[in-house]
Amino acid sequence: MKAVYSPLHSRHDGGKELHRGELVPCYEMPVRADYILSAVQTAGLEVIKPRPFALETVLKVHDAAFVTFLRTAFDQWKAIGKDGFMLPSGFAARSMRQDVIPPGINGKLGYYCYDAGTPIVEGTWDAVLASAHCALTAAALVADGERSAYALCRPPGHHAGASTYGGYCFLNNAAIAAQYLRDHGSARVVVLDVDYHHGNGTQDIFWSREDVMTVSVHGSPETEYPFFRGFADERGEGKGEGFCHNFPLPRGTGWDEYSATLDQALAVIRDYAPDAVVISLGVDTYENDPISAFTLGQQHYPLIGAKIATLGLPTVFVQEGGYAVADIGTNVANVLTGFEQAE
């Protein structure tokens, strides 16, 4: 399996996040990618650079005005005499108008972002675009005939919607990869999200579509981020009704319950009979993760990879979360090697 990696991820560095009422240094930090890179190299994966892609590949799943905002946000911030990191101070919540995009940068931040945990810094756009190119390159490898590929994406992407960002995510790498597969020969694609946190952005992007099914096994939004999406009764709408499947689990879930639920999710995927699958690979289900509450051990990650391999499908792995930094690389590599050994 090839792993796609760009050192440009390190340009997204610095800032703080508001986490459960406290302003703290970001849990999503460059060293995460460093540990993963080292572990996948040790595991024998061939590491390659991402290919360049036209911005139109991103615009197939994201709103053009939103992408322009991400690309120019820090320049707008500097234009009003600011520096450092950017966080919104107000949001387009339920009683506020959502049909008008504010002209000023502070208003735009609250219009496009839905949390105060996703700072923008001067190098964010460079890292975000490189991350998307990693996902596109992995998708292209699979579309061209590889059985699997891994995109070491940082920043992650599954919380980014068509025109919103949050949860450390700016562009939705998994959705971009899924759309690429659709455009290059796959009539049906599934995005399976195994991150601890529900992939609300991916669900948003494909909510009304029947050609890309979203399936997510995650911590219940009754207690876990993103709080307002990821419930079991969310099923899609219009042509997409019935093509969204959520499997929320309570805090403290261990391997037995997780494994059985993952089996249910895989059965749904088999019934759909897709041509390819994209895995939103978060390893924040780990027992020592600082912002999550499942109890999976390191020995369980090869088993997750092996279960995914039973689908027998062309597979694109896209990196999402995992914040127990010292162990993140081992856990990611274990999923990938478990997958390869079971194929």
Q: Which residues are catalytic?
A: 159
In sign, the C-alpha dihedral spanning 182, 341, 4, 67 is: positive
Nearest to 28 by CA among 336, 334, 328: 328
> What is the distance between the alpha carbons of residues 302 and 127, in angstroms, rounded to a whole number?
29
Alpha-carbon torsion angle 12, 14, 15, 19, nearest 10:
90
Q: Which tokens hold the place of 33?
A: 């990618």
CA angle at 222 for the pair 27 and 226, rounded to the nearest 5°: 40
> What is the distance between the alpha carbons of residues 2 and 273, in angstroms, rounded to a whole number?
25
The DSSP output letter for 7 is G
Instruction: Decide: 241 and 235 in contact? Cβ < 8 Å.
Output: yes
Instruction: Decide: 315 and 142 in contact? Cβ < 8 Å.
Output: yes
Instruction: Decide: 248 and 231 in contact? Cβ < 8 Å.
Output: yes
In this structure, which amino acid lies at residue 321? G
CA angle at 283 for the pair 246 and 183, rounded to the nearest 5°: 60
Please classify residue 321 by burial: count the beta carbons closer than 10 Å to its beta carbon, then call 0-12 exposed, 13-18 middle and 19+ buried. Answer: buried
